[in-house]
Amino acid sequence: MSNFYQAIQERRSIYVISKEPVISDEKIQEVVEFAVKHTPSSFNSQSGRAIVLLGEQHDKLWDITTDQLREVVPAENFGPTEEKMTMFKNGYGTVLFFEDQEVVKGLQEAFPLYADNFPVWSNQSSGMIQLVVWTALEQEGLGATLQHYNPLIDEKVAAEWNIPQSWKLIAQMPFGKPAAPAGEKEFSPIEERVKVYK
């Protein structure tokens, strides 16, 4: 199996992560920059944006998320939610994925025929970036998951890290040294999902 196929297969959701360093902060930055630079976008619009939170900044994100959830989750059910937040906070860092809505709007104005498609394509492109980052982190020996506490945390995140108004938060990816393996994964019969006609 070539490295590419192996990398795709080895990327998994790793929930139990620790703060123990695995690669340098510079390497983490390099991985995210690589993914954002080389992942395709519709019309090569390059609407993807990312912020990497490390150390105390990472901790702050999960404190903010915990506080925001506390306001909407009933107190008697908060235990499991808080445990989950602690699990993510136990990690080394988080990548925040955004899409710049100014770019999307610009495309809609420039190409009215495709106006409805641009927000969809922007999200698709963000998903591609997320997959590249997720797979690359895994290849570097880190474990990560994909989380969606937006839009609940949008305002606090924007205020804390001075996020431009046009950047829409799409996903959060906490990562760290894997401290427990991924769970079992079931696969639907592939012949029901892929058809070939020739």
Contacts to ligand FMN by CB under 6 A: 12-13, 145-148, 182, 185
Reading the block at residue 73, the tokens are 């989750």
Query: Rounded to the nearest whole angstrom, what is the least distance from the CB of residue 182 to ligand FMN in the complex?
Result: 5
Q: Which residue, 190 or 196, has its beta carbon nearer to ligand FMN?
A: 190
- To ligand FMN, the closest distance from the beta carbon of 172 in angstroms equals 9
Could you tell me the smallest distance in angstroms from the CB atom of residue 111 to ligand FMN?
A: 26
Instruction: Give the nearer residue to ligand FMN in terms of CB position, either 12 or 105.
Output: 12
CB contact at 8 A, 95 and 173: yes
- Residue 41 structure tokens: 């976008």
In this complex, which beta carbon is closest to ligand FMN, that of residue 82 or of residue 109?
Answer: 82
Closer to ligand FMN by Cβ: residue 47 or 135: 135
Whose Cβ is closer to ligand FMN: residue 120's or residue 196's? 120
Residue 123 token pair: 């999200």
* Minimum separation from the CB atom of position 48 to ligand FMN (A): 15
* 192 DSSP β-pair partners: none
Q: Are 154 and 37 in contact (CB under 8 A)?
A: no
Full DSSP string of 59-121: HHHHHHHHHHHHHHS-GGGHHHHHHHHHHHHTSSEEEEEEEEHHHHHHHHHH-GGGTTHHHHH
Strands (DSSP E) contained in 131-189 are: 143-144, 167-178
Q: Supply the minimum distance, in Å, between the C-beta of residue 146 and ligand FMN.
A: 4
Strand partners, 19: none
